[in-house]
Amino acid sequence: METMSITEMMKAMIPITRFNKGEANKIFDEVQTEGTKIVVKNNKPACILLSPARYESLIETLSDYMLYTEAENRIKNNSDSENLTQDDVMREFGISQDDLDGIDVEIE
């Protein structure tokens, strides 16, 4: 994940008065071309503007991290005595290898 330097952060700050002056479209264009903007109100960050693609990327990264953490916890707390082999599971559910052949599975 990329981080912003202090200089980049300072350049990304925009006063809320720019919105009051009707510059919203220009600001949104800047977000698309220059990246994240930090809207400042009363000398304090009020909100962060970022492109939908950047937002989606951040949410996906967060989701991946949460899944990773869950997998780590499950591995750590796993008891081998509770594990079943693939053959055991297939037998329990009445699935044969022939049932599985020719089925395409997409894993993200």
What is the DSSP code string of 11-30? HHEEETHHHHTT-HHHHHHH
**Cβ-proximal residues to 26 (8 Å cutoff; 6+ apart), any chain:** 18
Record the pTM: 0.62
Residue of higher predicted confidence among 23 and 3? 23
Can you tell me the mean pLDDT for 30-36?
Answer: 93
Q: Which domains are delineated in the chain? A: 1-77 (3.40.1620.10)
Confidence band (pLDDT; 50, 70, 90) for 1? low
The CA distance from 22 to 18, in Å, is 7
**Which residue has tokens 């044969």?**
96
The CA distance from 19 to 14, in Å, is 9
